[in-house]
Structure 1
Amino acid sequence: MKTYLKRALCIATTVGLMAPTIATATNGYFLIGFGAKSRAMGGTGVAYNMEGMAAAFNPATMVDSENEFDLGAEIFHPPRSIYHDSGVLGFTDEPSNHDLFMIPSMGGTYKYDDNITLGFAFIGAGLKTEYNQSDTSSSCQRTNSVTPGSCPPTVFNPALTTVPGGEAGVELVQMQILPSIAYKLNNQHSVGASLAIGWQFFRAEGLESFGDLGFTPNSTAIDSGWDNSYGAGIRLGYFGKFLNDDLSVGVNYSSRTYMTKFEDYNNLFAEQGDFDIPENYTIGLAYKVIPDLVVALDIQRINYSDVKSVGNPGPNAADPGDFNPLCPGLDDDSCKLGGDNGMGFGWVDQTIYKLGVDWSYSEKINLRAGLNYGESPIQSEEVLFNMLAPATPESHITIGASYMFNKDYELAVNYMHAFENVITGPTAFGPGGSVVEGTNAAISMVQNSLGATLRIKF
């Protein structure tokens, strides 16, 4: 057991250090699920055992896992774009660069005895955008350019201060390793707990306009390269079986993961660089309709608004002379980016509904499908800052299958499509530099992903 746990944690750490491309997600900036089986079932898993990945959903469900290890990867394609018509910030209509990402997933479980199961999972979340800025050299890379070499200002570079050929955007990578334990109280009820050990990395580039427009007291620290922080939280789970084990019920609570501050971005994120991973909780049911068919339903709540750097409102679209809605009439540093009442992305809490089916087609083959829906946490009046984080998708469909090669090896595959969702709204910088009644900006994203997970029993 010790050798297994050491190897598993070593692999988890190695993959974590190699995974800066976990840079886009879909339920806000959380993934809909982890591993090919869950992602094929709309992200369900809190009341339905996901084998080696069980700790990622509900540590209590590990009691139904065997001695096994899951290793997966997903290719993620999320084209995203922005539109902004402004007299101050220029006209911008362009996609974000870099539309392919790799998302790893990993987990394992070990039956210590008849009542205790140990395990872990490695999970990630995040987002990334990168937009071409005005190139005043020999050619203009902006998609809306008319004359090479004479590009207009952009939303992130109104004063043409970005170096020629420069880019603007942000990248956030959040990773958690979840060492976990589950205890079977009796044949019907189990409980579990995880320690959520978090690491996160962030960088911003090309955001000089935040200083030029007075959003922050010090513009020189906005483009500071990579910075990192770390922290911890807890997860608690319950798993119960009823109606002759045909019905299972699961509950998972994930506390806020308290992270150290991004010191290099203490003038960008509210509360001097604070960026905790938000609290979230899930309840779920799984019902065996017939011996070969299971239907699972999860409802998840993510409390984005409790993290001020995410939940505080952005620039006031109704009054360009009074940017921060939390500090009307004030213009001191506490109300600017990085302050205790500093502006954020204005995300609201998100409720997500997940539905999945698992059909045992034969002894070796399972077929899966699912739906996932959650209203975007971005409100129409918060479009401006969310050009950096256009988490717009709401509706997802998923399918997948698995094949058992023998008693020790199984391969699962999945496909996900998130339908395009466009969010439009006003900003504080209208076409004539005045207040906009209606819309002058838009953000959008569509997603496709294809993944696979190898399950190994030992």
Structure 2
Amino acid sequence: MLQVTRLASVIALTGVAISAHATNGYFTHATSVKAQGMAGVATALAHDSLTAAVNPAAIGNLSAKQQLDLGVTYFKPERESRISGNPGLDGSFDGNDTKAFWMPEVGFARQHSDVLSYGIALYGNGGMNTDYARNPFDPSNASGSAGVNLEQLFVTSTVAYRLNDQHVLGLGLTWVHQSFKANGIQGFAMMSQDGGAVSNQGTDTSTGWGVKLGWQGEVLKERLTLVA
């Protein structure tokens, strides 16, 4: 029987004060909605099929023989910057021209036998971009709106093997697609070896592959689980 878990959306309201020289945080503190609800705890717990994103061994400890997990995160960060002590640049700037982001996730896992399980998970990173309609760097010859955006899509295929009642090993193969865009930051061109490529160059994309190994070991039943 297929177990379908409907995950309620999570509203993440984050207040961020960014100084003029700071970088922006991009990534949520967990992959699945369930793990987000536990402040990011996931590596040692078999929450759902999306736990394979952080520990591929976890799908070997799911309670259901088949499990489909669907989730979406509604993310509405508050972004702003303040510049002081720099005549001509000082001020407060609102970076919320793009106000909110929807980040879906899908995972599936199946217990093939008493010792072998497999699954697939689709999930993403992003949503913490900056988008300034009023460019903080206008006085430094910047043009147009300012902001940066990084987005990542992951697809992880996983196999888990149960050694015994206490220990599970997992192997995950991950494909990732990434895109990045930066606009209105021409003032930083002098700091780069290729100043003409710093800003307003459209969206760059890249893809890659990775392998992850995982282990879950229940040392004390329902009391202590070790992971790697």
Same fold (TM over 0.5): yes
User: What corresponds to 2:45 in structure 1?
Assistant: 48
1:233 equivalenced with 2:206 (yes/no): no
Aligned to 2:169: 191
Tell me the residue number matched to 1:174: 152
Does the CA-based 8 Å contact 1:59-1:192 persist in structure 2? yes
Asked if 2 retains the 8 angstrom alpha-carbon contact of 1:89 and 1:157, the reply is no
Q: CA deviation at 1:96?
A: 0.7
Three-state SS of the structure 2 residue aligned to 1:104 is strand
Match for residue 129 of structure 2?
A: 128
- 1:217–1:41 CA distance, 2 compared to 1 (3 A): closer
Shift of 1:207: 1.4
- Normalized against structure 2, the TM-score is what? 0.80
Task: Please provide the CA RMSD for this pair.
Answer: 2.4
Aligned mates of 1:157, 1:228 — CA distance in 2: 27
1:116 paired residue number: 116
Partner of 1:59: 56
Identity of aligned residues (%): 31
| Pair 56,161 (structure 1): closer, same or farther in 2 beyond 3 Å | closer
Cα separation, 1, equivalents of 2:219 and 2:89: 61
Equivalences, count: 203
Distance 1:44 1:159, change over 3 A: closer
Distance in 2 (alpha carbons) for counterparts of 1:217 and 1:114: 57
* Counterpart amino acid of residue 125 in structure 1: N
Q: Is the 8 A contact 2:26 2:150 kept in 1?
A: no
Tell me: CA distance 1:225–1:242, structure 2 relative to 1, closer, same or farther (3 Å).
same
1:242 alignment counterpart: 219
Equivalent residue number for residue 84 of structure 1: 83
* Distance in 2 between residues matched to 1:241 and 1:179, nearest whole Å: 24
Aligned partners of 1:225 and 1:114: how far apart in 2?
A: 50
1:178 partner SS:
strand
Letter aligned with residue 72 of structure 1:
G
Contact residue 51 and residue 64 of structure 1 kept, 8 A: no
Q: Output the CA distance in 1 between the equivalents of 2:217 and 2:48.
A: 16
Give TM-score, length-normalised by structure 1: 0.42
Letter in 1 for 2:57: A
Q: Is the 8 Å Cα contact of residues 26 and 129 (structure 2) preserved in structure 1?
A: no
Secondary structure (helix, strand or coil) at the match of 1:30 reads coil
Aligned counterparts, 1:341-356, within 5 A: none
Listed one character per residue, the Cα deviations across residues 15-47 of structure 1 (whole Å, up to 9, x for unaligned) are xxxxxxxxx9x9943321122221111111111
Structure 1, unaligned stretches of length 5 or more?
Answer: 5-23, 135-153, 253-458
User: Are 1:53 and 1:107, in contact at CA under 8 Å, matched by a contact in 2?
Assistant: yes
The answer to whether the 8 A contact 1:47-1:61 is kept is: yes
Greater share of residues in strand: 2
Find out whether 1:220 has 2:196 as its counterpart. Answer: yes
Residue by residue, what CA displacement relative to the aligned partner does 1:254-307 show, whole Å, maximum 9, x if unpaired?
A: xxxxxxxxxxxxxxxxxxxxxxxxxxxxxxxxxxxxxxxxxxxxxxxxxxxxxx
Could you tell me which runs of 5 or more consecutive residues in structure 2 were left unpaired when the two chains were aligned.
3-13, 17-23
**Alpha-carbon contact 2:116-2:159 (below 8 Å) kept:** yes
Structure showing greater Rg: 1
